Chain A
Amino acid sequence: MQPSLKKKGLFKSGAWIGYVLIAPCMIGILIFNFIPMGISLFYSFSTYDIIHPPRNFGVHNYTNVFTNVILRDKFFKSILHTGEYLLFSIAIGLFLSFLLALFLNQKLKGMAAYRVVYYLPNLLPPVCSAIVWADITDPLYGLGNAVLQWFGLPNYSFYADPSTAMPTFLIMSLWGLGSGLMLWIAQFQNIPDALYEAAELEGANAFVKCVKITVPMSTPTIFYTLINSIIAGLQVFGPYLITGAGPDDSLLFFVTNIYINHRQFNMGLACALSWMLFVAIALLTLLLFRKSKWVFYGEDM
């Protein structure tokens, strides 16, 4: 295929068309991504409050988070919280939604309707979602405690107490399971039926079929979910619309910390923190891509 195309020179002579076609997106990422990132890098080496021009150039924003007691406390707290969320979201994305998708991937009447229902919480506009969850988790008149009482369980303080705020947020994120579900179901539909039929002929049971066929054939989704969970998980903003950074900073995530500094016009520090996060995400993603030999894309790639 390749040599014959080259001989005809069709692609080579038409190379300029390629540049025309990709021009919009390359100009787009230059204006909306790379230039802002450059500006942000510049500010990260300064003290900047928007009103006055940047001054006091140096690396102090990068060192202060380790030397200044208050900043250090917030910095490490936010890393710890982000890590907790990241692990939880990977577990949910990889295991819980996988199991649920297995269960949803059966031929049953009305399955499409169930899928829509399971996806619905993802369609709740964030602002509506914040109003509803603030209500459900209200310790006094919320539905959450009403349900717990109904089961004879003691009241829970949800977002009102530092020790329960994080678990509340993690449980709340379970309602977003539906989006991962769609990916898994799509992946399962891509697995040829012939593989399962062959396995059945050999007498394989459901568990063996799952472990030997479904899981290995789903490695693209596993990889995609892993990458996506890490990129999105490290940028978790938390239920900021409901409780801000939570009682006693119990829901202070890395991005929440950036946002708060940003609102307090500590732009230099906010930009420095943003760059640290960017480098962390880039390194983790690169590492995962380096170690992605186990991903099987089928014969067509």
Chain B
Amino acid sequence: MDAVNLRRHRAHKILRRAIVIIRHFILCLLALFFLLPILVLFTRSVMDPSEIYAVPTHLFPSRLNFSGYTQAFDAQILSYLLNTIIVVGVNTVFVPLTCLMCGYGFAKVRFPGRGLCFSLLLSTIMIPGIAMQIPLYIVYYHLGLTDSLWPLMITAFFGGGAMSIFFMRQYLKGIPDSILEAARVDGANAFVIMFRIMLPLARPVVVLTAVNVFIGQYNDYGTALIYIWNEKYYTLAVGLYYKYLAPGAESIDVNVQYAAGVLVMLPMVVIFALFQKQLINGIVTSGMKL
């Protein structure tokens, strides 16, 4: 009786292990699929330019050639990097802060017209970005902000857009009023409450906002394309566009293009891998409660 049970148990164990292996196999196949563009980017960055155009295509280089990296990593890319650090830094610090402020106002303070203001804010999600380009150009022009880094940073001081404020508000709504009450009884004013109580409690969604802002700003070449024409203000995204993709850029060796791509992508991958858990947590806790 016991022997039968034991055998059954063993068979069950083997079956379970087989299922785990099959699952890993499927997951690996899918991973291969998703990795394809990145694999191409990487392998071609270390290929001889002539081999990239070989027919039939070689996926893996027959000889490693790192000249792409040494050529891509020039003074220009350092200047682009510096601008990117300024733009991304300002946005990543100030968007979560102003966003926390507005989110707190909408979630926890009662005042006449709150609902209307929030609806107005949400309605901006529906405005097609492209519809704003020329009119926004005129606004920036009159504010004297064109051809500087300002068009890439100024919105950071105004809440950073409806979506991030929306997520912040949803999260803050879940914080019990009793905590705020207690703080008020102790004599804390709204700003003390915001920084000393809300900020630590809202950490997951603050991190979510910061990471989202980082990724969005880092990748944004469209804004810079419209408002900046002086090369000293190029960020990595737009610099990469002008240097390697815009008409007339074909003269550069292709492996340099790919190497530059790898260099530009690297910080994003690091950030994402580091904050993956917080990102999911942030989404879980703020919820998509429309």
Contact = CB atoms under 8 A, between A and B. Distances in A.
Nearest to B281: A186
Contact of A18 (B111, B245, B258, B290): B111
Contacts of B280: 182, 185-186, 189
A285 B23 contact: no
A123 B126 contact: no
A235 B128 contact: yes
Given A115-B276, A118-B31, A120-B38, A142 B57 contact: yes
Interface string A107-130: 010101011111111011111111
Contact of A29 (B99, B120, B244, B290): B120
A116 B38 CA distance: 13
A292 to B, nearest CB: 8
B284 interface: yes
B190 A17 contact: yes
B201 interface: no
Interface in A219-272: 220-221, 223-224, 227, 231, 234-235, 237, 241, 255, 258-259, 262, 267, 270-271
Nearest to A135: B40
A228 B122 CA distance: 13
Instruction: Kindly name the residue among A50, A116, A275 whose own CB sees the greatest number of chain B CB atoms within 10 A.
Output: A116
Contacts of B190: 14, 17, 20-21
A120 B245 contact: no
A142 B36 CA distance: 13
Contact of B37 (A22, A103, A136, A262): A136
Contact of B34 (A22, A120, A224, A271): A120
B126 to A, nearest CB: 5
Contacts of B27: 103-104, 108, 114
Contacts, number: 278
Contacts of A149: 56
A104 B36 CA distance: 19
B139 A141 contact: no
B195 interface: no
B128 A277 contact: yes
Contact of A258 (B41, B52, B57, B130): B130
A181 to B, nearest CB: 10
A contacts with B: majority SS: helix
* Residue with the greatest number of chain A CB neighbours at <10 A, chosen from B104, B105, B125, B288: B288
A294 interface: no
* Number of chain A interface residues as a range: 35 or more
A114 B184 CA distance: 46
Contact of A120 (B35, B123, B219): B35
Contacts of A65: none
A201 to B, nearest CB: 21
A16 B41 CA distance: 54
Interface in B226-268: 236-237, 240-241, 244-245, 257-258, 261, 264-265, 268
B20 interface: yes
Interface of B: 20, 23-24, 26-27, 30-31, 34-38, 40-41, 44, 52-57, 59, 98-99, 101-102, 104-106, 109-112, 114, 117, 120-121, 123-136, 138-139, 155, 157-159, 162, 165, 174, 177, 181, 184, 190, 194, 215, 218-219, 221, 236-237, 240-241, 244-245, 257-258, 261, 264-265, 268-269, 272-273, 276-277, 279-280, 283-284, 287-290
Given A100-B30, A278-B128, 20 more contacts: A5-B177, A15-B111, A17-B109, A28-B158, A29-B121, A31-B139, A33-B127, A35-B135, A35-B139, A36-B138, A112-B277, A117-B31, A121-B38, A123-B268, A124-B265, A126-B221, A127-B240, A127-B264, A129-B37, A142-B57
21 contacts: A11-B110, A12-B110, A18-B110, A28-B159, A29-B124, A32-B132, A32-B155, A36-B135, A36-B136, A36-B139, A40-B132, A117-B31, A120-B269, A124-B41, A127-B240, A127-B244, A186-B283, A187-B288, A231-B125, A274-B128, A282-B126
Interface of A: 1, 5, 10-12, 14-22, 24-29, 31-33, 35-40, 43, 50, 100, 103-104, 106, 108, 110, 112, 114-121, 123-133, 135-136, 140-143, 145-146, 149, 175, 177-178, 182-183, 185-187, 189-190, 220-221, 223-224, 227, 231, 234-235, 237, 241, 255, 258-259, 262, 267, 270-271, 274-275, 277-278, 281-282, 285, 289, 292, 295, 297, 300-301
Closest 7 CB pairs of A and B: A28-B158, A21-B105, A274-B131, A25-B159, A36-B135, A18-B111, A224-B288
